[in-house]
Structure 1
């Protein structure tokens, strides 16, 4: 993330380049796409280098059509969009990282400990809450009978923490003491943004983040927006691989987009740096600090969602790789990189040799 660097489509459509123009091997990309397609029911793969699409491939299956504009379900890759909404609000001076969440969203409503901060929620160290929303809805098969969308999901109080949660989760577990990956607590960041901005988090996200990035397909499942107009941070986004790649390019740019600093560079850098309780997690972004994805570069960071919704950001290679899809097979980051490792160039004319 070079100082002042800005690449990508801005408010317009992506520029579609070629592998050769971006220093990539066309055959390696085609082979990677073939291998990735065999690992699970993919809908799309978009490889960006130098701020331009160097390669893309789309597949048709019972859940998707092979179209660049097809909207996939984000699952938890939506969390990284939530982090970006928080970063935008910080950049606008509405909130600060170490503000108490209860300043904007009362603890008696959220179920969070009163001393939970925005930073705790971003790093999955809040200690949890029993006030939760249901999980993201799975996409429906193309041949399924039409069904009217349901209303937005509201918070409900569950009696105990989910299976596997640490003792005292959502009741007595101290904020900042334990990393536990759970989108239920992070969802409350949407209400924090609403309280700080004076508008619903859906409106804030769509106007201050999505429109500002020039996204072409981004929206929410109806269940992902509650009656107050607040979104589920943990998922429920509908978007194309191309729009998911915009998010990665924003972070690769150090927060610059369309001629302005959309998200403060300092926030971007901290968001993709190891957090105190988990070196492989930043602000709702996964990291590869300890090589948890063995075939991927150590400096890679990525958004990740169930069934293989990924946005991999590779700063040293000036690349973003987005892939989405759904099916009966689960696709892990490790599975994805069994295929994708071969697309990385051995040397980089844009930035010198790769180690």
Structure 2
């Protein structure tokens, strides 16, 4: 079914009217975010309010006690248990920004909550900073050329590149911080022996969402940077975009490594065993704003445009996934009625950062029933 003329026109005009840097408002640290004027941006206020009402009415159905929600959500995994911190969550919250100005907000946008696999997009960015600064020469390099402690030894693991880890198609085999790769989100069919002794996929050929392998990436980046990943993120990015001091990035209780004689924590790329990034809606919006402006914050280049282009390019085994960013390309994860150039971070429990560079539109929504995200974003676009 073809989209109606108004939607076609919207997509066409969006391509033509790429937002320029000087049109975007960047809030200072601790500044109250500017709200758009009544006639500043053309939109249907009633429709936008209805979209916000939709987000309120479709709260994530899992327990607000996230320890309970995690154990229920991953009860099919053998040996699954909580290994890191958790936190009870708040209610639905979010922000819709146009060129950096608030078009709508709801809930407690300053509350710090777990954000689960949205953390992966932050972890990917730490890898991007490493490549931008020459600590990683190229993401197509083999990780074993950088990390030689045995993590990437063996016929299979030695083939794995940074890109394979970033696209979640490495099929890295092993155990890290008590987590076995084959026990993390196993197939619905088969049993322990089938999963444990499976035939490994050639790196780069099959995407498998797997937190153990994501945590291997975090571990490898810790050793490349020679400092804790949260410190890298703080110094290189979060301080520069005016984020608050409230966000925290945790690892598992026993996830300690020693580098240059200093013991430091290796963080996780998600929270399905606890840990991960705990952050407010407003700080998530600041991070999204950086990507909305293609790596620049108020005239300062923080991430290269080349990295963002690579990070948001479809991978071979999954056209809807790049370097730990989801892509709205035509595929199984495509949202109908939403431009295909949109990309987004997504996490358990309905946490999302949705970025549309061409139209200057940024959406952050939290604790939305995940099955309703496509409909919600479509409603926001219809309001414009």
| Fold match (TM-score > 0.5) | yes
Deviation at 1:342, TM superposition (A): 2.6
Mean CA deviation greater in 117-126 or 219-228: 219-228
CA, structure 1 residues 323+160, in 2 after alignment: closer, same or farther (shift >3 Å)?
closer
In 1, are the aligned partners of 2:47 and 2:382 still within 8 Å (CA)? no
Unaligned ranges ≥5, structure 2: 1-16, 61-90, 189-193, 257-263
Q: Deviations over 1:290-338 (max 9, x none)?
A: 152223222211100111000111223210100112xxxx722x51232
In 1, are the aligned partners of 2:120 and 2:270 still within 8 Å (CA)? yes
**2:50, 2:37 → 1: CA distance?**
13
Q: Which residue of 2 aligns with 1:121?
A: 165
CA, structure 1 residues 295+4, in 2 after alignment: closer, same or farther (shift >3 Å)?
closer
**1:168, 1:286 → 2: CA distance?**
28
1:34 aligns with 2:53: yes
Q: Which residue of 2 aligns with 1:351?
A: none
Unaligned ranges ≥5, structure 1: 59-66, 133-153, 348-355
Q: Which residue of 2 aligns with 1:69?
A: 110
**2:289, 2:296 → 1: CA distance?**
9
Mean CA deviation greater in 94-103 or 117-126: 94-103
In 2, are the aligned partners of 1:14 and 1:53 still within 8 Å (CA)? no
Q: Which residue of 2 aligns with 1:353?
A: none
Alignment of 1:170-249 (within 5 A): 172-216=200-244, 217-221=246-250, 223=252, 226-227=255-256, 228-235=264-271, 236-249=276-289
Pick one of 114, 119, 138 that aligns with 1:78. Answer: 119
Q: Which residue of 2 aligns with 1:277?
A: 317
Q: Which residue of 2 aligns with 1:50?
A: 99
CA, structure 1 residues 72+169, in 2 after alignment: closer, same or farther (shift >3 Å)?
farther
State the SS of the aligned residue for 1:317. coil
In 2, are the aligned partners of 1:99 and 1:118 still within 8 Å (CA)? yes
CA, structure 1 residues 169+277, in 2 after alignment: closer, same or farther (shift >3 Å)?
farther
Q: Deviations over 1:142-192 (max 9, x none)?
A: xxxxxxxxxxxx344467564219978897332112122222212222222
| Rg (Cα) greater in structure | 2
**1:201, 1:222 → 2: CA distance?**
10
Corresponding pairs, count: 313
**1:113, 1:170 → 2: CA distance?**
15
Pick one of 328, 331, 335 that aligns with 2:369. Answer: 331
**1:155, 1:106 → 2: CA distance?**
20
State the SS of the aligned residue for 1:188. helix
Q: Which residue of 1 aligns with 2:34?
A: 16
**1:344, 1:198 → 2: CA distance?**
43
In 1, are the aligned partners of 2:183 and 2:195 still within 8 Å (CA)? no
Q: Deviations over 1:69-94 (max 9, x none)?
A: 10121111111111111111111111
In 1, are the aligned partners of 2:181 and 2:210 still within 8 Å (CA)? no
CA, structure 1 residues 19+282, in 2 after alignment: closer, same or farther (shift >3 Å)?
farther
Alignment of 1:124-135 (within 5 A): 124-132=168-176
In 2, are the aligned partners of 1:116 and 1:175 still within 8 Å (CA)? yes
Query: Structure 2 length normalisation: TM-score?
Result: 0.73
Q: Deviations over 1:93-151 (max 9, x none)?
A: 1112122212333362367701211111111111233324xxxxxxxxxxxxxxxxxxx
1:343 aligns with 2:365: no
Q: Deviations over 1:241-269 (max 9, x none)?
A: 11111222111211112432211101101
**2:199, 2:175 → 1: CA distance?**
11
In 1, are the aligned partners of 2:345 and 2:354 still within 8 Å (CA)? yes
